[in-house]
Chain A
Amino acid sequence: MFENLGEMLIFFWRTVKMLPQVWRQRRKVMDQLFEIGNASLLMACVLSLFIGGVLALQTGPVLVDRGLSSVIGGIVGLSMCKELAPVMMAVLIAGRIGSAMAAEIGSMQVYQEIDALRTMNIDPISYLVLPRLVAISSALPLLVIFSILVGWIGGALVCVYNHNIGVSFHSYFANLRQTVELGDFINGLFKSWVFAVVIGIVSCHQGLLTAGGPRGIGLSVTKAVVNSLVLILILDYFLTRVLISI
């Protein structure tokens, strides 16, 4: 996959150059946004609720034992913001939306729809890739905001109702508000935006590379998802490293 990295950067650049045309493609952007929301909102809600919950469940009893129950809110709050929400939502979107993008564009490639576009002098990048990239890179950060809020609530519920923890709603959120700053929020959103671009570019690029009939489509989907995930997790480390030192 790494041999394609340069190619994907060029592909990204070519898409960015098309940005002035985004207004013309606004209907397709809206369609994509709707699809992303439709496919992922419920899943995002369930995932985030449980991630926030399990985070509280893992850290709560240990902290309570050491008399640190007052910091649970901050720990759940920060972890959701800076790490868990961006990464988990990126994984969800890579699986649900990245795969769909690779499959759709891949089948268009296999069934010569892309060739047909090109003979009509319609650039597949502005027609297919641009709306998808714009949609995913605006939808994922929004989804992450939603996920953070739901995750906080998940953590709070566990803190209140788990008898090994027993921290009140009030003290949980008081600590959370004290600890989490706007910068942490933005930190997570920035990461998720980078992840969104990775998913969009990897999936569309892979879709366009599809060859070898219907079997090739399946192969492209797998590659798109796996490559996105690997890139996301590697980038996550380095982005965190850079963001911490700012």
Chain B
Amino acid sequence: MTASSPTQYGVDVQVRGLQKSYAGQPVLQGIDLEVAAGEIFVIMGPSGSGKSVLLKHIAGLETPDAGEILIAGHPIKSAGSLNHYRLAMVFQSGALLNSLSVGENVGLYLSEHRIKPQAEIDRIVKQTLEQVGLKGIENRNPAEISGGMKKRVAIARALVTEPQLILYDEPTSELDPLIAVTITEEILRLKRQFSVTSMIVTHDRSLAFGVADRIAMISDGRILFVGLPGEVKANPNPMIQKFLTAKFDQEKERKTI
């Protein structure tokens, strides 16, 4: 964990035959994925289909029942093998440490690993928070800020580690549309500037089609389809179509009343 170079390169991810059940209940039933270095890979699918569990496996937080995951060619065994690459995860709920201030949360990686002197860390924290649209909240407590702000702080905390692979779990849920656009732009900037690899779990169709290089549709722990955004839109699978075009049908609602 030495100082990181200003230019970083994304790492590729390979998931092979990944299976996981909890208490006999299968959640992932053989997932195969290849994500290229620098790619923005979006994973969509209904709630409970195993998207968060898949991300946790890639982050090394869960042990698969079967199958393997290679990041930058190295099999991951635990979070400890992060030495081969830098990975960051933005959790669905933010997962900020409640006992620390917002600023300490964002700077945690740098201060715990003694990567930079404190004054430098303070500067980076301030700058990164500004980047995600949160100026001057370093000294607030996570408990005092809204869900949307927490999520942006979590993104700032991920950015500070200068990751080569970022995993986002529903980064724009709970955010208003304007802020959601900021996050979308930030994801694109990271790709442009550092060719970071991003894997994004989301229900947000505008985010998905706005940033994705490729989209995977997942349902019941299986990949239904992987392809370019256009290919996904054109896919005849009724499940995919229903998911992509779901909207409130006023006519139908009136008839049933």
Contact = CB atoms under 8 A, between A and B. Distances in A.
Given A111-B93, A113-B97, A118 B61 contact: yes
Interface in B81-105: 82-83, 87-89, 91, 93, 95-99
A104 B80 CA distance: 24
Contact of A119 (B87, B96, B98): B87
Interface in A89-109: 104, 107-108
A39 to B, nearest CB: 16
Contacts of B1: 121
Given A118-B61, A119-B61, A121-B1, A113 B96 contact: yes
Interface string B182-220: 000000000000000000000000000000000000000
A119 B97 contact: no
A119 B87 CA distance: 7
Interface residues of B, number: 26
Given A113-B98, A127-B112, A119 B93 contact: no
B112 A122 contact: yes
A115 B108 contact: no
A108 B97 contact: yes
B98 A120 contact: no
B97 A116 contact: yes
B110 to A, nearest CB: 10
A112 interface: yes
Given A119-B87, A121-B83, 8 more contacts: A115-B61, A115-B95, A116-B89, A116-B95, A120-B109, A121-B1, A121-B80, A121-B113
- A-B pairs, 5 with minimum CB distance: A112-B95, A118-B79, A116-B95, A119-B89, A120-B109
